[in-house]
Chains A and B, each alone.
Chain A
Amino acid sequence: MQTGNPRTQIAARLNKAIAARNGFPSDTGMTKPSIAVEQEGSTARVIVSGEMLTQSLSAVEDAFRATRPDAAHVTVDMSEIDALDTGGAWLIADLKNRCAAMGATVAFDGLKPAHSALLETVSENIPKDIPAEAPPKGFMPWLESLGQSTVGAGRDTVSILGFLGLTLHRLGRTMIMPWRLRRAAVVSQMEETGFKALPIVALMGFLIGVVLAFQGATQLKQFGAEIFVVELISISVLRELGILLTAIIVAGRSGSAFTASIGSMKVQEEIDAMRTLGLDPIEVLVIPRVLALLIMLPILGFVADIAGLFGGALMSWIDLGVSPGMFITRLKENTSVWHLAVGLIKAPFFAMVIGVIACWQAMQVKGSAQSVGQRTTASVVQSIFMVIAIDALFSIFFSEIGV
Chain B
Amino acid sequence: MDGSAQTSTAKLDAQREAVIRVRNLRNQFGPQVVHDDLNLDVWRGEVLGIVGGSGTGKSVLLRTIVGLNKPAAGSIEVLGVDVLNGPEADRRRIEKRWGVAFQDGALFSSLTVLQNVMAPLREHTGLSESLMRALGSLKISLVGLPQLSCGKFPSELSGGMRKRAALARALALDPEIVFLDEPTAGLDPIGAAAYDELIGELQQALGLTVFMVTHDLDSLYAICDRVAVLAEKRVLVEGPIEDMTKVDHPWVQEYFTGPRARAAQQKGQDR
Contacts and interface: CB of A to CB of B under 8 A. Distances in A.
B109 A369 contact: yes
Nearest to B120: A54
Given A55-B96, A86-B138, A117-B204, A367 B174 contact: no
Interface stretch (A122-130, A214-222, A283-291): A122-130
A24 B80 contact: yes
Contacts of B137: 127, 130-131
Interface stretch (B27-35, B62-70, B126-134, B220-228): B126-134
Contacts of A118: 205-206
B187 interface: no
A61 B131 contact: yes
B15 interface: no
Q: Interface range on chain A: under 10, 10 to 19, 20 to 34, or 35 or more?
A: 35 or more
B241 interface: no
Interface in A50-69: 53-55, 57-58, 61-62
Interface stretch (B139-147, B178-186, B248-256, B261-269): B139-147
Nearest to B174: A85
B242 interface: no
The listed residue with most B CB atoms (<10 A of its CB), out of A134, A368, A369, is A368
A58 B126 contact: yes
Interface residues of B, number: 42
Contacts of A350: none
Interface stretch (B6-14, B49-57, B151-159, B189-197): B151-159
A129 B134 CA distance: 10
Nearest to A62: B128
Given A54-B121, A85-B174, A114-B207, A122 B151 contact: no
B79 A24 contact: yes
B85 interface: no
B37 interface: no
Contacts of B128: 58, 61-62
Interface string A102-134: 000000000000100110011001111111001
B110 interface: yes
Contacts of B205: 117-118, 121
A367 B157 CA distance: 10
A87 interface: yes
B134 A90 contact: yes
Contacts of A134: 151
A86 B154 contact: no
Contacts of B114: 131
Contacts of B121: 54
Contact of B109 (A91, A121, A368): A368
Contact of B147 (A23, A54, A129): A129
Contact of B81 (A23, A114, A126): A23
A61 B147 contact: no
Interface string A129-141: 1110010000000
A71 B187 CA distance: 50
Interface string A222-246: 0000000000000000000000000
Nearest to A27: B17
B34 to A, nearest CB: 25
B237 to A, nearest CB: 29
A54 B204 CA distance: 18
Contacts of B204: 117
B93 interface: yes
Contact of A54 (B81, B110, B125, B150): B125
Interface in B96-128: 96, 109-110, 114, 121, 124-128
Given A54-B125, A86-B142, 9 more contacts: A53-B174, A54-B173, A62-B128, A121-B201, A127-B137, A128-B147, A129-B147, A367-B156, A368-B155
10 contacts: A24-B79, A25-B17, A25-B79, A57-B127, A86-B206, A87-B174, A121-B205, A127-B140, A367-B109, A368-B110
Interface of A: 22-25, 53-55, 57-58, 61-62, 85-87, 90-91, 94, 114, 117-118, 121-122, 125-131, 134, 366-370
Q: Which 6 A-B pairs have the closest CB atoms?
A: A367-B155, A368-B109, A58-B126, A85-B174, A23-B80, A121-B205
